Amino acid sequence: MKENQEHKLDHFIDALRSDDLDHQDVSEMEELLQSDSDLRRRYRARMRMESNLLSVCQSEQDVISPPAVTRVANHQSKRWWYLAAGAGIAATVMFSVLMFSNSTQSTPSLTVARLETQSQATWAGTLPLTENAELGAGEIDLRTGVAEIRFVSGVLLSLEAPARLKLIDPMRCRLLTGSVVVDVPDGAEGFTIDTPEGHVVDHGTSFVLSVNDETSEFGVISGKISVHHSGTGGEKTLVTGEGARLTSAGIVALEMPFAQKTANRVDQNFRKLKTKGRELSIVRNDQRELMLSPDLLMVKTDKPLRNESRLPVDQMPKDRRSLIGFKLDKIDTGRIRSAKLRMNLVPSGLGFASFLPNSCSFEIYGIKDDASLESWWSGSLNWKDAPGSLAKGNGIDHSEVELLATFEIPKGQQEGPITIETDDLIKYLKRDTTGEVGFLVVMTTVPKRTWSLVHAFASSEHHDAAGPTLEVELEGE
């Protein structure tokens, strides 16, 4: 009897390798594995053997760049060896979760890496990542702290916040922003990290990589890497102690690794402006003391009610908007080359995200270049007197403001930076003649129910997060 079960299990494993395992076979295989611990040990041993054989084959290649995990409906993934690499720690029930979906239209989720350690780490999204959590292909967003991620291939990647990383497969990932330290063991040469400007291929080394909005910078701690520029096709080999920068124009050699060089932080053409108190929230029906807080810039569109004018004030819709202002009197606006409006999303503690759709839309308006409109920042500003407000309702008075940008905030997100950078923003700043500009922040998404979440951004009085800033870069004189 036991011999027949072992033979049947071996048959299932062979079918898995050849991509001939159907959902009925999966169910029978699960029953076998759940019924006998010896069969589970036999299964794990087979999987480890297959994984080791694959690793030997890969280590003999000069450059290993396996394709990303594919997801094809009604077709089981041929990347069965990912499961093999994780089989020693996977629970029996996880077999069917990793390899097959309950629906013929869904796709397998395969282990690419696992979270090994973390320190003071917080993650974007609704589910926290815990140590030893298995990670499939997809994007992770580390907001604070440091986290170590061990790929199935053995590569150890230390991620330093704030950073966003896209896991592709055990030999490839993409760093979207942030900094990483990479240690590649013997046998995992060829590990590749994509960046916005190109990619880096390891040749047996330890190296560092940092990606920001405009460049990617590399430094080799030990060993050798090759840096590739996707736009020009250029390539540069770096060895211990050397560094390079990838820009939109190509590859630039660094005299010394960026992590060891003190940058010249004084840029005469860069300005970072603060509001200096020119910021406030407004609430429809003007219940300021009850509904607003000086450390928060609140934004909300409330669910409309019938005959709201007949309701008591405390039952009327409680739409909120925020206004932000900056002085430009010391800036030659005609020389503005780029501009970024930055805000920090923070929890308001008001309302419930459950009453929102999966994503909420917001708009940023510029207050038109008119001195009378730009004197809005009185702390007792009423809704109807605010730039962009109509006397009744929560509509927008487009004669007083102009749309500069839109952005989205997912339902589960209540913290994080928001950056506005558009051509319309630059044009708006360049047209200024009064030496001051103002912005109106509005939510356009209507919630499913009342008592919905109030979104908030940190004001300059917030105890923890930084208030709004306007960053302006000027053309050289």
Q: Is residue 117 part of a domain?
A: yes
CATH of the domain at 231: 2.60.120.1440
* Domains contained in the chain, number: 3
Q: Are residues 389 and 311 in the same domain?
A: yes
* Run of H or E residues at 369: none
Q: Is residue 105 part of a domain?
A: no
- Name 294's bridge partners: none
Last residue of a domain, one of 51, 67, 99: 99
Last residue of a domain, one of 70, 99, 128: 99
Q: Are residues 377 and 340 in the same domain?
A: yes
| pLDDT for 8 | 83
Q: Are residues 396 and 275 in the same domain?
A: yes
| pLDDT for 87 | 40
Q: Are residues 55 and 120 in the same domain?
A: no
Q: Are residues 203 and 284 in the same domain?
A: no
Closest CA relative to residue 454, chosen from 312, 309, 291: 291
In 280-346, where does DSSP find H-type helix?
A: 288-291
Q: Is residue 107 part of a domain?
A: no
Q: Is residue 27 part of a domain?
A: yes
Q: Are residues 426 and 280 in the same domain?
A: yes
Q: Which domain holds residue 223?
A: 112-260
Q: Is residue 104 part of a domain?
A: no
Q: Is residue 106 part of a domain?
A: no
| pLDDT for 378 | 77
Q: Are residues 280 and 418 in the same domain?
A: yes
Cis peptide before 162 (omega within 30 of 0): yes
Distance of alpha carbon 160 from alpha carbon 287, whole angstroms = 43
Q: Are strands 243-246 and 336-346 parallel, antiparallel or unpaired?
A: unpaired
Q: Check: CB of residue 447 under 8 Å from CB of residue 375.
A: no
Most distant CA pair in the chain, distance: 91
Q: Are residues 88 and 129 in the same domain?
A: no
Q: Is residue 212 part of a domain?
A: yes
Closest CA relative to residue 190, chosen from 169, 209, 219: 169
Distance of alpha carbon 98 from alpha carbon 87, whole angstroms = 11
Closest CA relative to residue 248, chosen from 309, 195, 303, 306: 195
Residue 37's identity, in one-letter code, is: S
CATH of the domain at 378: 2.60.120.260
Q: Are residues 176 and 256 in the same domain?
A: yes
Q: Are residues 351 and 243 in the same domain?
A: no
Q: How many CA atoms lie within 13 A of 67 on its CB side?
A: 6
Last residue of a domain, one of 68, 99, 130: 99
Tokens of 284: 């429809």
Q: What is the pLDDT along the chain (477 residues), one digit of tens a residue?
A: 677 888 887 887 777 666 566 767 777 777 777 777 777 777 767 765 655 554 444 434 333 333 333 333 333 333 343 343 334 333 333 343 333 333 333 334 588 999 999 988 888 864 557 888 899 999 999 988 899 999 999 999 999 999 999 999 999 999 999 999 999 998 899 999 999 999 999 998 899 999 987 789 999 989 999 999 998 999 999 998 899 999 888 999 887 655 554 444 456 788 999 999 999 999 988 888 888 999 999 999 987 777 766 767 667 778 999 999 999 988 999 999 999 999 999 999 998 898 999 999 999 999 999 888 888 887 788 888 999 998 787 899 999 999 999 999 998 899 999 999 999 999 999 999 999 999 999 999 998 887 889 999 999 999 989 999 999 999 876
Q: Is residue 289 part of a domain?
A: yes
| pLDDT for 438 | 96
E strands within 32-96? none
Q: How would DSSP label each residue in 445-476?
A: PPPSSSSBPPEEEE-TT-SSS---EEEEEEPP
Q: Are residues 252 and 298 in the same domain?
A: no
Distance of alpha carbon 444 from alpha carbon 440, whole angstroms = 12
Q: Exposure pattern of 254-266 as b/e (b: 16+ CB <10 Å)? A: beebbeeeeeeee
Q: Are strands 172-183 and 192-195 parallel, antiparallel or unpaired?
A: parallel
Q: Are residues 243 and 293 in the same domain?
A: no
Q: Check: CB of residue 94 under 8 Å from CB of residue 64.
A: no
